[in-house]
Amino acid sequence: MTTKPVQILVICRNPEILQTILRLIRNKPEWEPAGCAPGAAALDLTGKRKFDVVLLGAGIEPHEDTQLRKSLSEHQPGVRIVQHYGGGSGLLFAEIYQALNGN
Amino acid sequence: MAQTILHKANTRGLTDLGWLKSYHTFSFANYYNPERMHFGALRVLNDDIVAGGKGFGEHPHDNMEIISIPLKGDLKHRDSMDNVAVISDGDIQAMSAGTGIFHTEFNRNTDEEVKFLQIWIYPNQLNVEPRYAQLTLNTADRHNRLQQVVSPDSDDAGIWIYQQAWFNLGQFDQGVATDYVLKGENSGVYAFIINGDVEINGQVLSSRDGLGIWEIEKLTIKALTDAEFLLMEVPLTF
């Protein structure tokens, strides 16, 4: 029996940092990431695909943050939304573990 | 009544990559301990030893105030804002990672280790323009008194960051005592002993121990041996 990987969405305006975070998450076979910049693509994705955890990274404008949270609450109630800090491996895993543990 | 949390040195997490030994007071990288997540806005306290000539290749940061305090040796920094600098014992470096910055950190010397503290503070503003700063401090100003090395105010002593945080370093002779009065509302202080034995409000601490204290207005600090220590006052909520 296989367990479905935890679905993690990373939203970040800086494309290099986004790619770094996605690469770090892919190193954990039990996690499956997707990523995009904030804006229309993020809203589209949050409306179409089911995620367990959403990480909000750098460069998201306040109105984009509000739209994203609204879209997530409508389409994916119960999804864990985490403000990601640090932009790399330092805090990333602990943030995801905390979200998965309901903290 | 004062609240405290004690983190003895030997309870810290450790990353050992051969060229790097990093002791983590709080969860960091692959060290995850849900009981050790942060002390208020203080999120990372890493006690790093990097072998000669080795270091951290290019990696990103965002939305974090990152403070480095060298304890021994020379650490070479290069970043995506074209800053190239070396920091040594007596210097302090701060980066506001904001919207994003890439940098490298290497031991400049091939024949000796570099030892430094790296401290991450949650910022009080997201997505600021990245900035880099470093400062050479007069280490005589921390002999038997507290030397402010970080503050939230660019016109105040030390280096400034985007948070209501104040750091002080002390290098005290045995028997010397002082008080520290907290500056911020809803603040706590995390004390980290760099070397020696220190008593803070009755709690005896040894080298590399950490003590968080809150719900208090003033600390009383006494060096039980010749000692060096760092006090980090940070907001408990942010």
Asked whether the beta carbons of residue A91 and residue B62 sit closer than 8 angstroms, the reply is no
Nearest CA in chain B to A60: B127
C-beta neighbour count of B237 within 10 angstroms: 7
Of the candidates B80, B112, B136, which is a domain's last residue? B136
Confidence of residue A102 (pLDDT cuts 50, 70, 90): confident
pLDDT in the model for residue A1: 58
Q: Which helix (H) or strand (E) holds B45?
A: strand B42-50
Distance of CA B102 to the CA centre of its chain: 20
In B, which residues are within 8 Å of A98 by CB distance?
34, 37
Whole-angstrom distance, CA of residue B188 vs CA of residue B234: 6
Is pLDDT of A55 > 80?
Answer: yes
Q: Answer for the pair A96, A53: CB distance below 8 angstroms, yes or no.
A: yes
Whole-angstrom distance, CA of residue B171 vs CA of residue B144: 6
Return the number of CB contacts < 8 Å for A and B.
Answer: 76
Q: Give yes or no: residues B41 and B111 share one domain.
A: yes
Nearest-Cα distance to chain B for A53, in Å, is 18
Q: How many CA atoms lie within 13 A of A7 on its CB side?
A: 9
Nearest-Cα distance to chain B for A60, in Å, is 8
Interface residue ranges in chain A relative to chain B, Cβ cutoff 8 Å: 12-14, 16-17, 20, 57-60, 84-91, 93-94, 97-98, 101, 103
Average pLDDT, integer, range B107-123: 98
Is pLDDT of A2 > 80?
Answer: no
Q: Answer for the pair B174, B226: CB distance below 8 angstroms, yes or no.
A: yes
Cβ burial of A32 (10 Å; 0-12, 13-18, 19+) is: middle
Average pLDDT, integer, range A60-68: 95
Asked whether the beta carbons of residue A93 and residue B120 sit closer than 8 angstroms, the reply is no
Q: Give yes or no: residues B117 and B168 share one domain.
A: no
* Closest residue to A90, CB basis, from B29, B100, B102: B29
pLDDT in tens, B5-51: 999 999 999 999 999 999 999 999 999 999 999 999 999 999 999 99
Is B213 a domain residue? Answer: yes
Confidence of residue B1 (pLDDT cuts 50, 70, 90): confident
* Closest residue to A97, CB basis, from B32, B62, B120: B32
CATH number of the domain within which B42 lies: 2.60.120.10
pLDDT in tens, B64-99: 999 999 999 999 999 999 999 999 999 999 999 999
pLDDT in the model for residue B207: 98
What is residue A77's DSSP assignment?
T
Asked whether the beta carbons of residue B63 and residue A101 sit closer than 8 angstroms, the reply is no
Is A30 a domain residue? Answer: yes
> Distances in Å between the alpha carbon of A35 and those of A9, A17, B140?
6, 11, 50
Range of the domain at B132: 13-136
DSSP string, A20-42: HHHHHHHTSTTEEEEEE-SSHHH
Whole-angstrom distance, CA of residue B147 vs CA of residue B35: 31
Give me chain B's average pLDDT, please.
Answer: 97
Range of the domain at A19: 6-100
Q: Answer for the pair B164, B185: CB distance below 8 angstroms, yes or no.
A: no
Confidence of residue B125 (pLDDT cuts 50, 70, 90): very high
pTM: 0.96
Nearest CA in chain A to B65: A86
Rg (CA), chain B: 17
Whether B40 contacts chain A with CB within 8 A: no
Is pLDDT of A36 > 80?
Answer: yes
Whole-angstrom distance, CA of residue B70 vs CA of residue B87: 7
Which ipTM did the prediction report? 0.93
Q: Give yes or no: residues B115 and B90 share one domain.
A: yes
* Count of domains observed in chain A: 1
Average pLDDT, integer, range A21-38: 96
Q: 3-class SS at B144? A: coil
**Residue B155 CB partners (closer than 8 Å, separation 6+):** none
Q: Answer for the pair B70, B115: CB distance below 8 angstroms, yes or no.
A: yes
- B139 token code pair: 């280490």
Is B4 a domain residue? Answer: no
Burial code of A74-98, b = ≥16 C-beta within 10 A, e = fewer? eebeebbbbebbbbbbbbbbbbbeb
Whether B59 contacts chain A with CB within 8 A: yes
Q: pLDDT above 70 covers what percent of chain A?
A: 98
pLDDT in the model for residue B235: 98
Is B30 a domain residue? Answer: yes
CATH number of the domain within which A56 lies: 3.40.50.2300
Whole-angstrom distance, CA of residue A73 vs CA of residue A76: 6
* Bridge partner residues of A83 (DSSP): A56
Q: Give yes or no: residues B105 and B189 share one domain.
A: no
First CA to last CA distance, chain A: 28
Average pLDDT, integer, range A83-101: 95
